Structure 1
Amino acid sequence: MTLAPGRKKEKLDRLAELSAVHDDERGVSLWQEALRRLRRNPAAIVGAVILTVFVLVAVIGPFLVPHEPTDTMGIREGVVKSGQGLIPGPSADHWLGYDHQGRDEFSRMVVGARQTLLVGIVATLIGLTIGVLIGGVAGAAAGLGGRWGRLVDSVLMRIVDMMLSLPSLLLAVSVAALLGPGLTTVMIAVGVVSVPIFARLLRGSMIAQANRDYVVAASSLGVRESKIAISHILPNSLAPVIVQATLTLATAIIEVAALSFLGLGNPDSAVPEWGLMLADAQPYLGIRPELAIYPAVGIIITALGFTLLGEAMREALDPKLRR
């Protein structure tokens, strides 16, 4: 039966209408969908604002500070006498007052933000690099390898289990004590603590991806297992690792401050760093408690910013946690 030209045109228009995809209905990638969800998440917005302010202060602030952070001007001018309990507070020229050695506290807080951010990022990158290497090899070996692959995975994971058996701060203190005090030591110690976290997470993600249909299809087409692991499984397994890196930055900043507080950080107290400033302020809590409050609040707010953004990213990328 042949349709009339008018009916035929009407049917074609109807089919075109049904098959048309509107702009707001087009498929989007995982990261585009996650970004869309982050924009609607108040916690993500608050975390992003905190981190933006922190990064701007850390990057630009040291060039705009009103005083040299190592200049003991207060003692030189005779206005600071910490031994006699005289440490002036905020004023028009010194917004946060002096510290116990007559240095401008505001300038030290701003410059200390850069030091804290640098140490936290480098420590996280150390843990991320080593953890991804161990977790990637273990995940590929467990997911695609045979008997030898399982053996490699078992050996690597037992090493990771031994690292996880120690409390993170105790492990960091042990590494720092072995290497001696210094910022490089702190970065290595905190980085080592986060290695098993990244390794375990990436291994589990890769094993889950190894059972997906695209891996079976690639194997059936004769693609080498090493290429499947590197070119397909690994890129699709990195999303949770990236989210964990954001959360680990918050932990790294706290652990860096803790090691500096315990005297395992930079031995030069003239170099401003929030954890070291917090330790130096302890003898003067009865005179100027603000000297401890300022760096403590800076550490708390910065860690909170990374935590809020990291948790929001985890919810946006994990289908089980999407709202």
Structure 2
Amino acid sequence: MTITGKKERLDRLAELVNRDDERGVSLWQEAFRRLRRNPAAIIGAIILAIFVLVALIGPFFVPYEPKDTIGIREGLVKSGQGIIPGASAEHWFGYDHQGRDVFSRMIVGARQTLLVGVVATLIGLAVGALIGGVAGAAAGLGGRWGRAVDNVLMRVIDMMLALPSLLLAVSIAALLGASLQTVMIAVGMVSVPVFARLLRVSMIAQANSDYVLAATSLGVRKPKIALTHILPNSLAPVIVQATLTLATAIIEAAALSFLGLGNPDTAQPEWGVMLADAQPYLGIRPALAIFPAVAIIITALGFTLLGEAMREALDPKLRK
């Protein structure tokens, strides 16, 4: 065999190896490769990394106690007379109407916002996945009785979807009373229909796959097929939706706090509460409302950018 022939054979073997490697890459590995090349995903990840870092370790390094009315004690803040000093070398974001350091309150409030958003999303994910999983398994594998169970569960979800999300959250919060736990439950319940319907549709699509037919032919019981085969393969869109839901959870939690349905202790820093407290002083110090509003917008933007990039990376129909 000539040198040219050997080279061509080696090239063909290398091409086959590369093809085998491509076939061996999992869905999540391929999605991660696409995310690394997506500028929107990188920007979103950077925003979220900064937000999480500030929320977790920032409160340990704040220059002032967020509840300390230092400005009033020193006679610098007189909100009744329209005197609220702005930014300075000692107080980077200035004082609020009660003489508290705004920068310290923004940093500590990030942890509260992250906690509410994550817990609310987990509540919605857990309840929605339970309902959607049962409905999807019943519709895909359950026969006539399964379809009946699916119809009952989906009608409950349709009733929840009939109400606007914010109105549903306000109704739940009003019934349970103002508290931080109420905000988490109310915002979490708003996202239940989204997770339930998404998981149901995904599981019904997976139930028609060849591997389900093969497992059924081998005599594997339907509950085992649903739990060990269909459910794990249906979770990718749900996980992506959880990232997007975090953005809306933060906004809705801030809205409930703004309406006075959140933590009754307004001295506890939280971005929605800070935004509500700043309303009477917009003419004096508009920055008191700008800081928490911008923080909410940027954080929600970070979750949205990363979530949309994950959706595009995991769904072949959306890939560019």
Identify the TM-score tier after normalising by the shorter chain. Answer: over 0.9
Partner of 1:189 in structure 2? 186
Task: Supply the AA of the counterpart residue of 1:49.
Answer: I
Distance 2:23 2:164 in 1: 47
- The superposition leaves residues 293-323 of structure 1 with CA deviations (integer Å, 9 ceiling, x where unpaired) of 0000000000000000000000000000011
What is the alpha-carbon distance in structure 2 between the residues aligned to residue 298 and residue 257 of structure 1? 11
Quick one: which of 184, 209, 212 aligns to 2:206? 209
**How far apart, in 1, do the equivalents of 2:15 and 2:217 lie?**
33
The aligned counterpart of 1:17 is 13
Equivalence for 1:146: 143
C-alpha displacement at 1:20, in angstroms? 4.1
Structure 2 gaps of 5+ residues are none
Picking from 230, 240, 243, the partner of 1:243 is 240
Alpha-carbon shift at residue 25 of structure 1 (Å): 4.0
1:254 aligns with 251
1:219 matched residue in structure 2: 216
Q: Distance in 1 between matches of 2:238 and 2:249?
A: 15
SS for the counterpart of 1:21 is helix
Measure the CA separation in 1 of the matches of 2:145 and 2:205.
19
Whether 1:52 and 2:29 are equivalent positions in the alignment is no
Pick one of 85, 92, 95 that aligns with 1:95.
92
In the TM superposition, residue 129 of structure 1 has moved relative to its aligned partner by 0.2
1:14 CA drift (Å): 4.2
C-alpha offsets along residues 84-143 of structure 1, whole Å, 9 cap, x if unaligned?
001000011100000000000000000000000000000000000000000000000000
Residue 24 of structure 1: how far off its partner (Å): 5.9
In 1: Cα distance, 2:42 partner to 2:261 partner: 35
CA distance in 2, matches of 1:203, 1:290: 45
Corresponding residue of 1:3: none
State whether structure 2 residue 317 is matched by structure 1 residue 320. yes
Aligned residue for 1:80, secondary structure, equals coil
In the other structure, the counterpart of 1:164 is 161
- C-alpha deviation, 1:17, in angstroms: 2.6
Report the alpha carbon displacement of residue 79 of structure 1 after superposing the two structures with TM: 0.5
**What is the TM-score when the length of structure 1 is the normalising length?**
0.95
CA drift of 1:279 comes to 0.2
Q: Secondary structure at the match of 1:171?
A: helix
Deviation at 1:27, TM superposition (A): 2.7
One-letter amino acid matched to 1:73: I
CA distance in 2, matches of 1:197, 1:18: 46
> RMSD of aligned C-alpha atoms?
1.6
Identity of aligned residues (%): 82
Instruction: Specify which of 52, 66, 79 is matched with residue 76 of structure 2.
Output: 79
Task: Note the C-alpha offset of 1:223.
Answer: 0.4
Deviations 1:6-30 (A, max 9, x none): 79xx89x949837841386453000
Taking the aligned partners of 2:14 and 2:120, their CA distance within structure 1 comes to 54
SS in 2 for 1:70: coil
Q: Secondary structure at the match of 2:46?
A: helix
What's the TM-score, normalizing by structure 2? Answer: 0.96
Partner in structure 1 of residue 118 of structure 2: 121
| Equivalent residue letter for 1:279 | A
| Aligned amino acid, residue 21 of structure 1 | V
Aligned match of 1:290 in 287, 291, 302? 287
Matched AA of 1:200: R
Q: Which runs of 5+ in 1 are unaligned?
A: 1-5
1:195-250 CA distances to partner (integer Å, 9 max, x unpaired)?
00000000000000000000000000000000000000000000000000000000
How many residues in Structure 1 have an aligned counterpart in Structure 2? 315
Distance 2:32 2:24 in 1: 14
Alignment match, 1:65: 62
Counterpart Cα distance in 2 of 1:221 and 1:25: 30
The one-letter amino acid of 2:302's match is G
Aligned to 2:128: 131
Alpha-carbon separation, structure 1, partners of 2:222 and 2:128? 21
Partners of 2:199 and 2:87 lie apart in 1 by 49
Q: 1:146 Cα shift?
A: 1.1
Q: Report the structure number with the largest CA radius of gyration.
A: 1
**Residue of structure 2 in register with 1:38 after alignment:** 35
- Structure 1 segments, 4+ long, off by >2 Å, are 13-20, 22-27
Aligned-pair distance for 1:194?
Answer: 0.2
Residue 284 of structure 2 aligns to a residue whose secondary structure is: coil
What is the one-letter code of the residue matched to 1:86?
Answer: I
The one-letter code of the counterpart of 1:237 is S
Residue 286 (structure 1) shift:
0.5
Say if 1:157 and 1:212 are closer, same or farther in 2 by CA, change over 3 A. same
1:300 corresponds in structure 2 to 297
